[in-house]
Amino acid sequence: MAQNGLEDTAAVPLEPASQAALKPPETLRTGAGPTLCRDCLSYFPDGPLDCPACGSIRVICHAELAGLDIAHIDCDAFYAAVEKRDDPSLRDKPVIVGHAGGRGVVTTACYIARQFGPRSAMPMFKAMEMCPGAVVVPTDMAKYRQVSQQIKAIFLDATPVIQPVSLDEAYLDMSDEARGVSDPLPAMALAEAQRRIEDEVGITVSIGLSYNKFLAKLASDLDKPRGFSVIGEAEAKEFVATLPVSKINGVGKVTAAKMAEQGIETIGQLQDMPEMELVARYGKFGRRLAGYVQGEDGRKVNTDGTSKSVSAETTFRQNMNGADALKEAVGPLCERVGKRLADKGIAGGTVVLKLKTGDFQILTRNRQLPNPTQKADVIRYHAEALIEAEADGRYFRLIGIGVADLCSAIEADPPDLFSGLE
Ligand code: TTP
Ligand code: MG
């Protein structure tokens, strides 16, 4: 915990004692609606305000929790968080990432530094005037790209349908259609991804969950850092009405200034305008705006290809365990996936293994490939490596194999036959 009371953006273990002090009174603790504990992932259909299973108060409670399936995930103070992870002496210090010196600008400021004013894109000299004690760390894009890949791999365990927007943010389609109907509740899979990113990557992210991309992105920004915010259909319109127009994705400084000139400060002031008027005032964007201000957004989570993943799965007659049996079962599935990829003229850049345990828990594990492939034997090679890591004696009732990150077959399988097997 930082001295100024702000939570640091590097992962921090929870302290049970301080949680206990914050518990709500007993009378408030039941009947609050569907509730998920973000720490132990317990789910209560009509839940308490703290988790009876582990005692955490980091619970998400929302009437529509089980039905919302579009998520936006954004890393907290991304570059600064990576630098703090790699140099623990920076942990409780104000850190600014960017190039020091006369004409440098801030790429990001950590949450401690932000208390003093520095922000992304600010001239460095100005940021240093506001926060003279800040430690300036040079930008290291290669490192942030590598961290971004690690995070993407964790997202892919939650759903094959992801749309990375930049190095530090992505939309995730958590619908049954995208993931397979028996996967865990979207909120649960997301809370697990959030926790894994803290444990395995060492930085924190904020999650927004809603029923469309516009609202999911708004939500991920509501409770930073380490947030998990939910916007449901019931409150969406009323909620967005209160926000400044600058919160609309696509309303930059210029449009916001134009709106201000017209006396429009909040989204609510746009809600009564007919679409025609919005188009007349703000051009083509007015059409999309007309939906946004009502809490509507028809955009799909776009993985860049038309299909999102190609997969095949089989349910065993009798539950199976052991690597050998699972590997034998996965062989024909890889053949099927390879054939379907060849038929469609596409290839996959990530192999995804799906296992359902005897007690109906779904596990997905994935591996990014050095080169996209459509070859069954390459898929099988990686599938077997993933199986090896999971076959610890547990019994499984289903196995599936798929490929995600689809691309054209032209980009796949370079001529060296074995290059995909590195
Ligand atoms: P953001 O997600 O906008 O910012 P952030 O991750 O630093 O902070 P938070 O999301 O918690 O508010 O941008 C992601 C990264 O992109 C950021 O760490 C640095 C880089 N960036 C720039 O280089 N210039 C910019 O103007 C902005 C806004 C971001
Ligand atoms: Mg960010």
| pLDDT tens figures, 159-188 | 989 988 888 999 999 998 888 766 789 999
Q: What is the pTM of this model?
A: 0.69
Which ligand has the nearest atom to the CA of 110? 1
Q: Is the pLDDT of residue 249 over 90?
A: no
Query: Which of 354, 363, 357 shows the shortest CA–CA distance to 396?
Result: 357
Which one has a higher pLDDT value, 104 or 110?
110
Cβ–Cβ < 8 Å for 76, 222: no
Indicate which atom in ligand 1 lies nearest the CA of residue 169: 2
Considering 122, 139, 156, which residue would you say is the last residue of a domain? 139
Q: What is the pLDDT of residues 36-90, one digit of tens each?
A: 988 889 888 887 778 888 888 888 989 999 999 999 999 999 999 999 999 999 9
The protein residue with its alpha carbon nearest to ligand 1, atom 23, reads: 107
| Tokens describing residue 180 | 């397979």
Q: Is the pLDDT of residue 200 over 70?
A: yes
Q: Is the pLDDT of residue 373 over 90?
A: yes
Query: What's the pLDDT score for residue 381?
Result: 96
Neighbours of ion ligand 2 (CB under 5 A): 74-75, 78, 168
Q: pLDDT band at 415, cuts 50/70/90?
A: low
198 is a catalytic site residue: no
Same domain, 250 and 105: no
The protein residue with its alpha carbon nearest to ligand 1, atom 15, reads: 78
The active-site residue, picked from 26, 129, 169, 235, is: 169
Q: How far apart are CA 72 and CA 206, in angstroms?
A: 8
Pocket of ligand 1, beta carbon within 6 A: 74-79, 107-108, 120-121, 168-169, 224-225
Q: What is the pLDDT of residues 311-335, one digit of tens each?
A: 999 999 999 999 999 999 999 999 9
Cα(109) to centroid(ligand 1), Å: 8
Q: Give 8: exposed, middle or buried? Use CB within 10 Å, 0-12, 13-18, 19+.
A: buried
| Tokens describing residue 232 | 């449901």
For CA atoms 268, 269, 275, 278, give the dihedral sign: negative
Same domain, 98 and 130: yes
Cα(131) to centroid(ligand 1), Å: 18
Q: Is the pLDDT of residue 19 over 70?
A: no
Of 108-122, 248-262, 401-415, the least confident: 401-415
Q: Across all residues in the chain, what is the average pLDDT?
A: 86
What residues make up the domain containing 288? 245-292
Q: Is residue 1 part of a domain?
A: no
Instruction: Give exposure, 336-372, as e/b (b: 16+ Cβ within 10 Å).
Output: bbbebbeebebbbbbbbbbbbeeeeebebbbbbbeeb
For CA atoms 71, 72, 77, 78, give the dihedral sign: positive
Same domain, 277 and 406: no
Q: pLDDT band at 251, cuts 50/70/90?
A: confident
Query: What's the pLDDT score for residue 16?
Result: 35
Query: What's the pLDDT score for residue 277?
Result: 94
Q: Is residue 4 part of a domain?
A: no
Which ligand has the nearest atom to the CA of 78? 1
Q: Is residue 265 part of a domain?
A: yes
Same domain, 167 and 53: yes
The protein residue with its alpha carbon nearest to ligand 1, atom 27, reads: 120
Cα(108) to centroid(ligand 1), Å: 6
Q: What is the pLDDT of residues 266-279, one digit of tens each?
A: 999 999 999 999 99
The protein residue with its alpha carbon nearest to ligand 1, atom 22, reads: 107
Same domain, 411 and 320: yes
Same domain, 148 and 215: yes
Which one has a higher pLDDT value, 227 or 14?
227
Q: Is residue 303 part of a domain?
A: no
Three-state SS sequence of the chain: CCCCCCCCCECCCCCHHHHHHCCCCHHHCCCCCCEEECCCCCEECCCCCCCCCCCCCCEEECCCCCCCCEEEEEECCHHHHHHHHHCHHHCCCCEEEECCCCCCEEEEECHHHHCCCCCCCCEHHHHHHHCCCCEEECCCHHHHHHHHHHHHHHHHHHCCCEEEEECCEEEEECCHHHHCCCCCCHHHHHHHHHHHHHHHHCECEEEEEECCHHHHHHHHCCCCCCCEEECCHHHHHHHHHCCEHHHCCCCCHHHHHHHHHCCCCEHHHHCCCCHHHHHHHHCCHHHHHHHHCCCCCCCCCCCCCCCCCEEEEEEEEEEECCHHHHHHHHHHHHHHHHHHHHHHCEEEEEEEEEEEECCCCEEEEEEEEEEEECCHHHHHHHHHHHHHHHCCCCCEEEEEEEEEEEEEHHHCCCCCCCHHHC
Q: What is the pLDDT of residues 106-136, one digit of tens each?
A: 999 999 999 999 999 899 999 999 999 999 9
Q: Give 324: exposed, middle or buried? Use CB within 10 Å, 0-12, 13-18, 19+.
A: exposed
Q: pLDDT band at 342, cuts 50/70/90?
A: confident
The enclosing domain of 368 has a CATH number of: 3.30.1490.100
Number of domains in the chain: 4
Q: Is the pLDDT of residue 419 over 50?
A: no
Cα(212) to centroid(ligand 2), Å: 19
Cα(1) to centroid(ligand 1), Å: 22
Q: Is residue 179 part of a domain?
A: yes
Same domain, 153 and 281: no
Q: Is residue 86 part of a domain?
A: no
The protein residue with its alpha carbon nearest to ligand 1, atom 20, reads: 107
Query: What's the pLDDT score for residue 31?
Result: 56
Q: Is residue 85 part of a domain?
A: no
From 73, 78, 114, 203, the mutation candidate for ligand 1 (largest count of ligand atoms within 8 A of CB) is: 78
